[in-house]
Amino acid sequence: MSETTSQLLVNLNALATGLFLLTAFGIVAMRQARGCLNLFIIQSLLLAASAALLGLRHESSHLYGVALVNLISKPIIVPWLLRRTASAEIYTRREIDQVLNIPTALLIALALTILSYFLAQPILNAVAPEFRGPNVPIGIAGLLLGAFTLTVRREALPLLIGLLVMENGAFLAGISIARNLPLLVELAIATDGLIIVFISGVLIRAVEKHVGTTAVGELASLKEAAAEPAAKEASK
Amino acid sequence: MSRAILFNLIQVLVVMAFAPLASGVLSRMKEIVQSKRGPSIFQPYRDLWKLFHKDEIVSEDSSWIFRFTPYIVFVTPIFVATLIPVLTNYPLFFAFMGDMIGAGFVLALGGFFATLAAVDTANPYGPIGASRTRMVGFLAEPVFMIVFFTVSFVAGSTIPYIVQEKWVTPLANFFTPSHVLLMLAFLMLILAEGGRIPVDNPTGHFELAMIDESKSLEYSGRGFALMKWGGQMKFFVLMCVFLNVLVTPWGLAGGHTLGAVLLAIPFVLFKIFCFLLVLVVIESSLSKLRLFRITEFLGAAFIISVAAMIAQIFLP
Amino acid sequence: MSVIIILLLPLIAAALVCIPLKKYWASGVTVVSSVAILILATRITLRVAAGNPVVSTLMFGLQQWIAVDGLSALILLLIAFVATTAAIYSVGYMAHENLKPSKLRLYYANYNLFVFSMLAIPVLADPTLVWIVVELTTLCSALLVSFQNTREALEAAWKYVVLSLMGAGMALFGFLVLFAAMQASGSNGVYTWDGLIVAAPTMPPVLLQTAFLLILIGLGTKVGLVPMHTWLPDAHSQAPTPVCALLSGIETSAILYVILRMFPIMHASPHSHAETWALVLGLISVGTAAFLLLQVRDYKRMFAFSTVEHMGIILTAVGLGASVAGYSAMLQIVSHSVTKSFCFFAAGAALMAVGTREIAAVRGLIRKSPAASVGLVLGGLAICGAPPMAVFLSEFSILKAGLMQKQYVATGLLAIFIVIAFFGIMLHINRMVFGAPENINGESPEENHLEPQAVENSHLPFSCRLAMILAAVPVLVLGVYIPKPLDDLLTQAAAALTK
């Protein structure tokens, strides 16, 4: 592998991770539920691209398998599963009034990204030089941004996407430092992701049917003080 | 040395001459996309010629600022055109008078005077548009600064010619995440500063919704022509900065002969044409944002530019 | 081999349960499979206690997929035991609920899948596979938590899923960093718990510590450590009672087992502060839970907070270090599991008798349902650590070990928190069981709707009584006498912990 091709691959991988970060920002800020899902699909494609590029660079067939698994499970199967389990209502939702307005949320997301770069430094310094790259900091950023999405959003679909983004982020970091993870394990983790979507979809449908809203993040009646009237209602 | 001055002059003339053409091509393409026939691409020239031959009416309640502004708005893009790479990739005679940040401030000076002039008249729509323009400009400034900061950080200098050298050399540099994010941020900035959709509708006639157009509402005759031409040149200059420094710093004249410089003109026009195509796609597929959503748009541009800066500084 | 059968049985049961047959088909299949699992688990445990760890090799290309040593066998046995008693309890409880047959089948199918996922945790040796199974426990139990489909149950289930999966996402990253650490250590071992211990001395300490912290906090969310415990009181109280017993009794302990597996790895590496983290986090959990216990309004939530407290106690015990503290921690796991499941069974009996979960609405339970009240009193005393029951013995030995380790501050704090929790629980239970119906706002209880509606069949079903008796046996016995095989098992487990 020549020097220029190698450098080109490294740069393309950096590009893929950069765009990954951008989609994570988009998921934090995007109002429409449908848009979040599309951004998530793009993000999974970028993850697969990064895995494939790293596989090309380091000639590791494991990573091709990871890329393939990601390519099939997330962009294709996840939306299909969601359509089957959750109601179609969740695709039409938009967050009109938000917990945190968008510029503030984006600024906090930026701060989290900078934080993740600092958090990644010790890890990068401790692994061999060939494993270093933008994957680990951006993977950690993905993890943190996914967690942040979970706190900031109230609609069901963005919350679910936030969970999946966390997993994507952990994976992005993992493909660069834990390269030889057995393929069976990767497959199992992907299946796990699908089961998450399935169960969440069922729960969201149940919430919509029995509670009547898709804003699952808003449900907050179980508290010590408020428990009395709620429990009274439950017990009747 | 006289050759350098000559090339600089040619550069300025190119900007002056082809700015209305770019504007004409853009509106024609937009109309074609909408399945209409559209005006001729040379229509802006005809408009300018017509306006120069008309009488000018100036309000009695306006001050010297109103009369002075068209000249400032006309001159500032010309000044910037001497600083940036338009035709050549080596610095020309006046290039060291100011760097990119200086160029940004000079352009802002033109905008500042235009805003003042809009407030100067007693027309109520002027100040509305002026305040909105200031809001957009206020939010766009940090993006501008950070974009140039990042670019200069990579290149080690703020002179656009030196920056462009850095981006040109290894092709692999094109794909670095900071570069791509910067391109995106600067594109959003051009949309904001140029008053294009999704920030503002350049073809709208509804005064209450105007942001950029309201600055030239009160002008007529020669003043109006200068304001229009100045606006077109500003847009042309921004596109040149975007294309020749950030995106496609290729096709610029490397040689010092007159022939090489003249040969660079069609290349530049071709690049601008391609960019106008992209712009048409963007403008035709998005809708104008509501006023307070513009802050989110520019906030996103800011975040993208800071992300580019982080990606550049913290990456190995 | 029997380990594979243990894993396959719940899956087969889950499949069989879906066939719509007679009324007691689903519950019967579940009970039978749980009893079979218990027998097999006991056999394995006896073998391990005698000193022969079970290792199965070369399954589908992954070496040493399954390894059962002392610690694993202990958890396995506990899971099997509580699953059996809860299955027996479910028979009567679910019959009392009068559900549609399809919903009943859904319950039992989910129950079996949940038991499968829990059983897989201690036996798998590859940490990433363990992570996958931990996520499976969340997913299989989510539908169980929301089973009653009320607003609160759905909210509890949603919070449970979101917080657990958030923690699991962090833990995934932790496991990947651990894998990277193993690669960076240059050892040629296999990526299993034992292989990690071997490779630990040469691992870069930064990676190992990062991995430990991520796993501690990520999986600590599922265990219920403060401040990630917010989902636990809701989920553990809104679920149907047998599921609560499973969740509180063994699921949190099984996840804690995964965290405990990290400790021998940390011991093998220099400069590790694993014990300090465990001590601090454990004490915070115990303290917060003890104070929160004082102001609960719902008795199932009370027991859920008590779970948080006990998880904190176990973690503190591990944090005290040394083999004696390890033994007491193991004993505490055992006693907590059996006692907590018994407490929840009693709470379920009270719920069936009274129809409300609120403490303020339940007075004088002893008149309504003697069985439930005896259960509640016994359970309450047992879980607070009153002698002569199992939890007292384990808490006492933890405090003793702490004093021996000269950790006076930690031991003192622990003792204070345990006492506070004691008062809290006994106060509430006392009021519930013995109090006379109160007058609130000057009105009589009937007008206040606080008088619990008399439910028609407040007669406790036979299977529930049977389950409660079965669960009570270890609670009472282990307080005075630890059988030799169990003692051996505990020693083996402690040895595995402090290798």
User: In chain B, where are the structural domains located?
Assistant: 2-314
Task: Provide the number of CB pairs (under 8 Å) joining chain A to chain B.
Answer: 69
Taking CB atoms and an 8 Å limit, are C128 and A185 in contact across chains? yes
**End-to-end CA distance of chain A, in Å?**
72
* Neighbors of chain C with 3 or more C-beta pairs under 8 Å: A
| Cβ pair B296, A28 in contact under 8 A | no
What are the angstrom distances between the C-alpha of C369 and each of C52, C272, C378, C429, C467? 47, 53, 14, 14, 17
Query: What average pLDDT score do residues C235-254 get?
Result: 89
| CB within 8 Å of C384: residues ≥ 6 apart | C391, C418, C421, C422, C425, C426
Query: Distance, in angstroms, between C428 CA and closest chain A CA?
Result: 15
Residue of A230, A229, A198, A203 lying closest to A216 (CA atoms):
A203
**Amino acid A44: pLDDT:** 92
Q: Is A59 left (phi over 0), alpha (psi -120 to 50) or beta?
A: left
Q: In the structure encoding, which two tokens stand for residue C188, read together?
A: 């040629």
Stretch among A179-188, B234-243, C7-16 having the lowest mean pLDDT: A179-188
Q: What's the CA gap between C256 and C307, in Å, rounded?
A: 12
Chain mean pLDDT for chain C: 83
Q: In the structure encoding, which two tokens stand for residue A89, read together?
A: 């209502």
Q: In the structure encoding, which two tokens stand for residue C2, read together?
A: 């029997």
| Cβ pair B297, B189 in contact under 8 A | no
From chain B, pick out residues whose CB is under 8 angstroms from the CB of A102: 296, 299
> DSSP states of A130-173 as a string?
GG-STHHHHHHHHHHHHHHHHHH--SHHHHHHHHHHHHHHHHHH
Backbone angles phi, psi at C56, to 5 degrees: -110, 135
Query: What are the structural domain ranges in chain C?
Result: 2-498
Give the residue, C404 or A145, on which the prediction is more confident.
A145
Burial of A94 (0-12, 13-18, 19+ CB in 10 A): exposed
Residues B80-133 pLDDT 10s: 988 888 887 777 777 777 788 888 889 889 888 988 888 887 788 888 888 888
From chain A, pick out residues whose CB is under 8 angstroms from the CB of C176: 170, 173-174, 177-178, 181
| Cβ pair C9, C36 in contact under 8 A | yes
Query: What average pLDDT score do residues A100-107 get?
Result: 83
Taking CB atoms and an 8 Å limit, are A107 and B303 in contact across chains? yes
Q: What's the CA gap between C367 and C353, in Å, rounded?
A: 11
Q: Residue C56 forms beta bridges with which residues? A: C66
Query: C251-283: b or e for each residue (b if 16 or more CB lie within 10 Å)?
Result: bbbbbbbbbbbbbbbbbbbeebebbebbbebbb
Nearest CA in chain A to B297: A103
From chain C, pick out residues whose CB is under 8 angstroms from the CB of A210: 149-151, 154
pLDDT value at C270 more than 60? yes
Helices (H), C369-407: 370-384, 390-404
Burial of C418 (0-12, 13-18, 19+ CB in 10 A): buried
Taking CB atoms and an 8 Å limit, are B176 and A15 in contact across chains? yes
Taking CB atoms and an 8 Å limit, are A163 and C356 in contact across chains? no
Instruction: Quickly state the pLDDT bin for A148 (edges 50, 70, 90).
Output: very high
Residues B265-307 pLDDT 10s: 888 899 999 999 999 999 888 888 888 888 888 888 888 888 8
Chain mean pLDDT for chain B: 85
Instruction: Quickly state the pLDDT bin for B36 (edges 50, 70, 90).
Output: very high
Interface of C with A in 284-343 (CB under 8 A): 292, 295-298, 301
pLDDT value at A223 more than 70? no
> Hey, is C66 helix, strand or coil?
strand
| Cβ pair B101, B90 in contact under 8 A | no
Q: In the structure encoding, which two tokens stand for residue B206, read together?
A: 């509804």
The answer to whether residue B315 neighbours chain A at the CB level (below 8 Å) is yes
Instruction: Quickly state the pLDDT bin for C449 (edges 50, 70, 90).
Output: very low
Taking CB atoms and an 8 Å limit, are B306 and A12 in contact across chains? no
CA angle A68–A74–A79, rounded 5-degree value: 145
Residues C286-303 pLDDT 10s: 999 988 888 888 888 889
The answer to whether residue C169 neighbours chain A at the CB level (below 8 Å) is yes
Taking CB atoms and an 8 Å limit, are C62 and A184 in contact across chains? yes
| Cβ pair B53, B219 in contact under 8 A | no
Q: Give the dihedral of Cα atoms B282, B285, B287, B292; nearest 10 deg.
A: -50
Instruction: Quickly state the pLDDT bin for A174 (edges 50, 70, 90).
Output: confident
**End-to-end CA distance of chain B, in Å?**
42
Please give the biggest Cα pair distance in chain C.
Answer: 76
